[in-house]
Amino acid sequence: QITRAEVGKMEIVGNYTDFLEVYLPKRPLLQYVWDYLRLNYSATLRSPLFPVILTVSSYFIFCVLYLVFNIMGRRWPLIHKYKIQQNRNPTASMMLRCIGITAYNHLVFIFPAAVAQWYWRPPIPLPEEAPTMIEAIVGIIGSLLLFDFQYFIWHMLHHKNRWLYKTFHAIHHDYMALFSLATQCLGGWKLVTVGFWTTVDPIILKCHLLTTWTFMVFHVYVSVEDHCGYDFPWSTSRLVPFGMYGGPAKHDVHHQKPMSNFAPHFAHWDKIFGTHAEYNYSKGYLEPGSINE
Ligand SMILES: [Zn+2]
Ligand SMILES: [Zn+2]
């Protein structure tokens, strides 16, 4: 025998399930995003040129956003208080030089490599299934950790070996006070290795294409953030707890004191190898005498 109260309860439960069915997505969120991209832009996404276009365009978008602060910031006290080296600002000729180097590297190294890939690599098949949110997050963090380790070793070698430093890496240390465009003020060889690891790491970790592209864009973002010259409250290093992430202040120390903070993302390798250096907030910036210590 079912009582009136029980019938009422069943109706509520029934209505609730109807509500869930109508309003909650039947597929995971990323599946919607992936289906939309896959069904509408299949030819573009399958092109081997797509990752290059994606990373180059996101680099310029992030650079321009921070460049506004680099140019106007000193007139806006609300922004300027977050500047890491308060008294040093980039000049127009520094910025133009970096744009020139970036354009040269892309024309001479990156685009020919991408076009060559276009010839010898068949278009990539797009899987039907999207990654789950957990798979995507694990893939992105895994790729960042793997890249962090490779670049740490590579970067340390280029500082310890005089020939490697002078030939390939010194150009990136032309500026001690950073601004967004200095991110890719690099020797072509360095840009090629960075591009190679960024491409290969998600493949090693068997990441989905959607995860791979998200990792690539995030990687570009944090690289620009490291060089933007500001330590904003939304810096990745402030969002990741326990000082696990280096961020703009620590990379700024690397540009002032080049034998420290070799890791591009996380702080653990520098702590293990004894090359970790904290930014000194009370001084504002390191004194010139402490450079190359
Ligand atoms: Zn740098
Ligand atoms: Zn360096």
Q: How far is the CA of 255 from the centre of ligand 2 (A)?
A: 7
- Quick one: CA dihedral 75, 77, 81, 87, positive or negative? positive
Q: What pLDDT, on a 0 to 100 scale, did the predictor assign at position 20?
A: 59
Ligand nearest to the CA of 252: 1
Give the C-alpha separation, 238 to 244, whole Å.
10
Q: How far is the CA of 76 from the centre of ligand 1 (A)?
A: 25
Ligand nearest to the CA of 251: 1
Q: What pLDDT, on a 0 to 100 scale, did the predictor assign at position 286?
A: 44
- 5: tokens are 């109260």
Q: What pLDDT, on a 0 to 100 scale, did the predictor assign at position 289?
A: 37
Listed in sequence order, the residues at least 6 apart from 278 whose beta carbon sits closer than 8 Å to its beta carbon are: 250, 253
Q: How far is the CA of 85 from the centre of ligand 1 (A)?
A: 15
Ligand nearest to the CA of 160: 2
Give the pLDDT confidence of 218-260 residue by residue, as tens digits: 999 999 999 988 888 888 888 988 888 888 888 988 988 888 8
Q: Work out the pLDDT band at 17, boundaries 50, 70, 90.
A: low
**Residues, the chain, total?**
293
- 229: tokens are 């010259």
- 194: tokens are 């960075």
Give the C-alpha separation, 281 to 252, whole Å.
12
Give the C-alpha separation, 95 to 118, whole Å.
32
Q: How far is CA 138 from CA 132, 143, 156, in A?
A: 10, 8, 27
Q: What pLDDT, on a 0 to 100 scale, did the predictor assign at position 21?
A: 61
Q: What residue spans define the domains of the chain?
A: 1-40, 43-273
Q: How far is the CA of 164 from the centre of ligand 2 (A)?
A: 11
Highest-pLDDT range among 131-135, 185-189, 220-224, 240-244:
220-224
Calculate mean pLDDT across residues 161-181: 85
Q: How far is the CA of 165 from the centre of ligand 2 (A)?
A: 8
Give the pLDDT confidence of 151-166 residue by residue, as tens digits: 999 999 999 999 999 9
- The pTM score is 0.82
Q: What pLDDT, on a 0 to 100 scale, did the predictor assign at position 190?
A: 82
Give the C-alpha separation, 114 to 57, whole Å.
15
Q: Are 122 and 195 in contact (CB under 8 A)?
A: no
221-240: string of b/e by CB count within 10 Å (b at 16+)? bbbbbbbbbbbeeebbbeee
Element (H, E) at 30: helix 29-40
Mean pLDDT lowest for which of 86-90, 94-98, 196-200, 219-223? 86-90
Q: How far is the CA of 46 from the centre of ligand 2 (A)?
A: 35
Q: What pLDDT, on a 0 to 100 scale, did the predictor assign at position 290?
A: 39
Q: How high is the mean pLDDT of the chain?
A: 83
Calculate mean pLDDT across residues 259-275: 91
Q: How far is the CA of 224 from the centre of ligand 1 (A)?
A: 9
